[in-house]
């Protein structure tokens, strides 16, 4: 499992961001993108064409969301941003005015970090953490193995060492869970089980057992608000979801769920790999499960170093490689891919083995 922040450092950063972030409901014709050096800024204008707030830098996520909203192809948008900022601004400004809409602009420290629907439900990191930390504090010996807050997401990965099992002799795994959330439209607020392998500190996210809440709420109109205050009143269904998250966190010690996953690991440890072309099989599995060409050599290296040429060994090679990846978001994706590989249908595993023969 990739290392990250301590829970104390994470909590401090969430509190800091809570105090400085701002959200606005804007009409797209009032938005103007302008070149600024080698980059661009986004201006929010009033009816007199004066700035309502200071011009904003634009983050990578917001750029992608602006392009998607305006139906500008991503590669073309990126090319204009890199090579022709004046052309990008002309395109964006034209389409912003041609197709007027109300959007939510999420701002952090002078940067537009998200450009979202005005129905986006602001269920933020602070609300999630405030709901789950007291429950985690009730769990004896709970260990915060890895926490992080990236530009796109929050992650808290917790292990319960009191619930453990042996997959093969000496190979001990423990029960845990991952809490994740995005404030910028990259995914639901989610609680998922995970399994922590002691021998190499691998984390494997159980993708088929999640509690989720999509960020979709009532319409916010710019006629009602420009600046949206963080001291909002959560709707009844939001409160219900936070209670459900608390129940899911408590259920992280669920022995039946943990036993189910351990059973699949034990079964996978007997599913032998066709060793006629191990690199070829890794390549085929990578294509099947979304591992990039640049990541394949690292997965293959860990597979060979571990010497476990089984389905279980392949899934562990992927989760072990996740620790080598610089990007925390991608490392977490790989922890889920490891589980997808572990639980692939038998006919898929047989097909990959035949193809690599």
pLDDT at 356: 83
Specify whether the CB–CB gap between 44 and 51 falls below 8 A: yes
Going from the C-alpha of 258 to that of each of 134, 172, 266, 303, 306, the distances in angstroms are 23, 13, 12, 25, 24
| Average pLDDT, 10 consecutive residues per value, the chain (357 residues) | 91 95 94 95 94 96 97 97 97 93 94 93 88 86 93 94 92 92 89 88 77 58 57 61 79 78 95 93 96 97 95 96 95 95 95 89
pLDDT at 221: 59
**C-alpha neighbours within 13 Å on the C-beta side of residue 4:** 27
Q: What are the tokens at 306? A: 């571990």
Taking the whole predicted model, whether its pTM rises above 0.75 is answered as yes
Which pairs from 321-326 meet CB under 8 Å and 24+ separation? 321/295, 322/1, 322/2, 322/202, 322/203, 323/1, 323/2, 323/3, 323/201, 323/202, 324/298, 325/2, 325/295
As a whole number of angstroms, the distance between CA 148 and CA 36 comes to: 31
As a whole number of angstroms, the distance between CA 152 and CA 206 comes to: 21
pLDDT at 211: 65
Helix and strand counts by DSSP (H, E) for the chain: 12, 13
As a whole number of angstroms, the distance between CA 297 and CA 335 comes to: 17
User: For the CA atoms of 128, 133, 136, 140, what is the dihedral angle to 10 degrees?
Assistant: 180
């Amino acid at each position: 499992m990739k290392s990250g922040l301590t829970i104390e450092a994470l909590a401090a950063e969430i509190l800091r961001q809570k105090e400085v972030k701002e959200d606005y409901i804007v009409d797209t014709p009032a938005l103007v993108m302008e070149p600024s050096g080698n980059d661009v800024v986004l201006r929010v204008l009033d009816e007199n064409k004066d700035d309502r707030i200071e011009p904003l830098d634009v983050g990578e996520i917001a750029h992608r969301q602006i392009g998607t909203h305006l139906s500008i192809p991503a590669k073309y948008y990126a090319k204009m941003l890199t090579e022709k900022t004046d052309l990008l601004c002309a395109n964006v400004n034209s389409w912003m005015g041609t197709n007027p809409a109300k959007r939510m602009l999420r701002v952090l420290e002078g940067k537009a970090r998200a450009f979202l629907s005005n129905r986006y439900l602001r269920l933020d990191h602070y609300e999630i953490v405030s709901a789950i930390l007291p429950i985690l504090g009730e769990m004896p010996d709970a260990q915060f193995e890895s926490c992080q807050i990236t530009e796109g997401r929050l992650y808290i990965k917790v292990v319960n060492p009191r619930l453990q099992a042996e997959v093969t002799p000496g190979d001990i795994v423990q029960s845990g869970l991952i809490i994740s959330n995005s404030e910028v439209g990259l995914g639901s607020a989610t609680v998922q089980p995970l399994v922590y392998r002691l021998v190499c500190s691998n984390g494997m996210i159980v993708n088929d057992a999640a509690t989720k809440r999509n960020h979709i709420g009532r319409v916010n109109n710019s006629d009602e608000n420009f600046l949206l205050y963080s001291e909002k009143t959560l709707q009844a269904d939001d409160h219900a979801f936070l209670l459900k998250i608390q129940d899911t966190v408590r259920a992280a010690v669920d022995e039946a769920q943990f036993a189910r996953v351990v059973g699949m690991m034990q079964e996978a440890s007997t599913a032998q790999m066709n060793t006629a072309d191990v690199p070829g099989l890794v390549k085929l599995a990578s294509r099947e499960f979304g591992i990039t060409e640049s990541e394949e050599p690292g997965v293959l290296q860990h597979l060979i170093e571990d010497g476990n040429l089984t389905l279980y060994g392949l899934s562990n090679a992927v989760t072990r490689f996740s620790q080598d990846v610089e990007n925390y978001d991608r490392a977490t994706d790989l922890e889920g891919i490891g589980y997808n590989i572990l639980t692939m249908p038998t006919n898929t595993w047989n097909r990959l083995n035949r193809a690599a023969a």
